[in-house]
Amino acid sequence: MTQVRQLLDQLATRLRRARPAPAPGPDPVVTAGVVENDVRSLYRRLLLRAAAQGIRRPLSRTPREHEPYLAQVPGLPAGFVARLTLAYRRVRYGEAAVDATVVEDARRALTTAAPPATPPAGDERR
């Protein structure tokens, strides 16, 4: 039995040497958390911008159901609301990872206009 154990130890040592060291980079867990927080924050900014235009989200309306109403907010690029809503739903319901480029696109689109002067009266879901 000791010979088998020695052979297994030798094999494990060789495999450890053959495996390349992982490349240094950002921690994927931290990166994902940052993207998720950014998506939530940007979606709230979109809700605030819509509320300033009189488009408020009732608590009973899901993000997907509210998407057509958000698409009526003037000054947003075509398809932007659909992409941000999908990213928000993925983050909120844990469906899949969100690409960081969605966050950058949303940030650019939402900074093209002045922020709303007053927040809505607490009728949006967080």
Residue 102 lies inside a defined structural domain of this protein? yes
Dihedral angle sign, alpha carbons of residues 63, 75, 99, 27: negative
Share of the chain above pLDDT 70, in %: 71
Distance CA 43, CA 14 (A): 50
Distance CA 68, CA 81 (A): 8
- The DSSP symbol for 45 reads H
Which pLDDT does position 60 carry in this prediction?
Answer: 93
Which pLDDT does position 27 carry in this prediction?
Answer: 45
Q: How many domains does the chain have?
A: 1
Which pLDDT does position 1 carry in this prediction?
Answer: 65
Q: pTM higher than 0.85, yes or no?
A: no
Distance CA 102, CA 109 (A): 11
SS3 content of the chain, % helix, strand, coil (to 5): 60, 0, 40
What is the residue range of 100's domain?
A: 26-110
Please compute the mean of the pLDDT values over residues 46-66 and round it to a whole number: 93
Residue 21 lies inside a defined structural domain of this protein? no
pLDDT tens for residues 76-122?
888 899 999 998 998 888 767 777 788 888 888 887 754 444 545 55
Which pLDDT does position 50 carry in this prediction?
Answer: 93
